């Protein structure tokens, strides 16, 4: 297939392009910063500059390049500074998930592109009651933290709009596997504290596994919504000390909820204490996907690890 990957130079895009090519696809890869052009070319794609918020440019690109499929992986999170307000941190990404999605879907419709796959997110979005692990059929959080309302609304908009148009939205877990991973950098510096009881559940996914699931989704008929996460959703009190150990950092500092709320905001406290994880059963059954790293423990070890010791065996 001739595939247009929007955001080919990003964390997931740069893992996805080589896997698409290995699977026989021809890839046109977009980037935003001029410095990323060489990266996209080195990955084996035809590089094209694109601002996905410029609807005319999006339309012209899709008309000119005539892809058979579009994969929307554009976010604006590189070097972003996390603030107390997740909505401020994610403002540009939220526009890419709403206006960018609209522009790409309109261009796809105009040019008769039938397949559309887009990046969504699984962790921290499901209703914070009931069991610790949620499926795609479970309710999303009806009352997200005040500082993350726009971010939740943008992801919901993407899910609804993409599936409404017959496409596939992939709710990825928290990405890891990149050498410059933001989370790992913070854990190494002990800037990622354990908050309250650390009962909030997270779902992770290695970037290579996320890319493999995306290749399979491209070959699958939509509409569809899939959690692309590993087999082991875990509470912060389990994963954070273990990740610290794996990357050779000192144990995380501890913060009470009230202080974490003051310093990091209500969104962070929710993630640490109340969030739910996601189930990958549907993606396994319907896409035929099997993660190479079913546990974040083995995945983080492979990506950042010290030698395995008896106590780090799972």
Ligand X SMILES: NC(=O)c1ccc[n+]([C@@H]2O[C@H](COP(=O)([O-])OP(=O)(O)OC[C@H]3O[C@@H](n4cnc5c(N)ncnc54)[C@H](OP(=O)(O)O)[C@@H]3O)[C@@H](O)[C@H]2O)c1
Q: Would you tell me which residues interact with ligand X (CB under 6 A)?
A: 6-13, 30-33, 36, 50-53, 74-78, 96, 121, 175, 178, 181-182
Q: Find the shortest distance in angstroms from Cβ 309 to ligand X.
A: 27
> How far apart (Å, rounded) are the C-alpha atoms in residues 191 and 152?
25
Token pair 């609209």 in the structure block, residue: 102
Go through 250-263 and write b for each residue having 16 or more CB atoms within 10 A of its CB, e for each that does not: eebeebeeeebbee
Question: Is the Cβ of residue 259 or residue 302 nearer to ligand X in the bound state?
Answer: 302
Q: Enumerate the β-bridge partners of residue 26.
A: 2
Question: Is the Cβ of residue 151 or residue 163 nearer to ligand X in the bound state?
Answer: 151
Q: By Cβ distance, which residue is nearest to ligand X?
A: 10
Token pair 């017959």 in the structure block, residue: 166
Q: Find the shortest distance in angstroms from Cβ 50 to ligand X.
A: 5
Q: Find the shortest distance in angstroms from Cβ 303 to ligand X.
A: 12
Question: Is the Cβ of residue 182 or residue 241 nearer to ligand X in the bound state?
Answer: 182
> How far apart (Å, rounded) are the C-alpha atoms in residues 201 and 278?
9
Q: Find the shortest distance in angstroms from Cβ 14 to ligand X.
A: 8
Question: Is the Cβ of residue 8 or residue 70 nearer to ligand X in the bound state?
Answer: 8
Question: Is the Cβ of residue 1 or residue 77 nearer to ligand X in the bound state?
Answer: 77
CB 5 within 8 A of CB 68: no
How many CA within 13 A on the CB side of residue 314? 15
Go through 125-147 and write b for each residue having 16 or more CB atoms within 10 A of its CB, e for each that does not: bbebeeeebbebebeebeebbeb
CB 191 within 8 A of CB 263: no
Q: Find the shortest distance in angstroms from Cβ 200 to ligand X.
A: 16
Task: Calculate helix-pair angle for 236-246, 266-273, nearest 10 degrees.
Answer: 90
Question: Is the Cβ of residue 7 or residue 307 nearer to ligand X in the bound state?
Answer: 7
Q: Find the shortest distance in angstroms from Cβ 90 to ligand X.
A: 8
Neighbours of 307 (CB within 10 A): 6
Q: Find the shortest distance in angstroms from Cβ 77 to ligand X.
A: 4
Q: Dihedral sign, CA of 182, 253, 91, 277? A: positive
Question: Is the Cβ of residue 185 or residue 251 nearer to ligand X in the bound state?
Answer: 185
């Amino acid at each position: 297939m001739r595939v247009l990957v929007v955001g080919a130079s990003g964390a997931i895009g740069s893992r996805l392009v080589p896997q698409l090519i290995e699977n026989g696809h021809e890839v046109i890869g977009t980037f935003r910063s001029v410095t990323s052009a060489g990266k996209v070319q080195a990955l084996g794609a035809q590089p094209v500059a694109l601002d996905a918020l410029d609807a005319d440019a999006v339309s012209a690109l899709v008309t000119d390049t005539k892809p058979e499929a579009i994969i929307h992986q554009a976010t604006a999170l590189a070097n972003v500074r996390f603030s107390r307000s997740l909505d401020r941190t994610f403002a540009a990404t939220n526009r890419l998930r709403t206006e960018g999605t609209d522009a790409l879907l309109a261009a796809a419709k105009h040019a008769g592109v039938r397949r559309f796959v887009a990046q969504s997110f699984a962790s921290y979005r499901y209703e914070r009651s009931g069991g610790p692990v949620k499926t795609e059929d479970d309710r999303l959080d009806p009352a997200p933290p005040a500082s993350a309302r726009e971010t939740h609304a943008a992801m919901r908009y993407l899910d609804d709009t993409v599936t409404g148009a017959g496409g596939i939205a992939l709710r990825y877990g928290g990405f890891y596997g990149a050498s410059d991973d933001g989370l790992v950098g913070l854990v190494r510096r002990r800037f990622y504290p354990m908050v309250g009881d650390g009962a909030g559940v997270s779902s992770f996914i290695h970037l290579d596994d996320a890319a493999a699931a995306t290749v399979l989704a491209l070959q699958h008929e939509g509409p569809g919504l899939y959690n692309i996460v590993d087999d082991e959703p875990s509470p912060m009190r389990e994963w954070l000390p273990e990740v610290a150990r794996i990357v050779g950092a000192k144990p995380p500092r501890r913060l009470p909820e009230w202080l974490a709320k003051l310093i990091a905001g209500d969104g962070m406290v929710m993630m640490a204490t109340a969030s739910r994880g996601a189930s990958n059963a549907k993606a396994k059954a319907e896409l035929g996907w099997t993660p190479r790293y079913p546990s974040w423990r083995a995945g983080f070890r492979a990506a950042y690890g010290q030698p395995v010791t008896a106590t780090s065996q799972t």
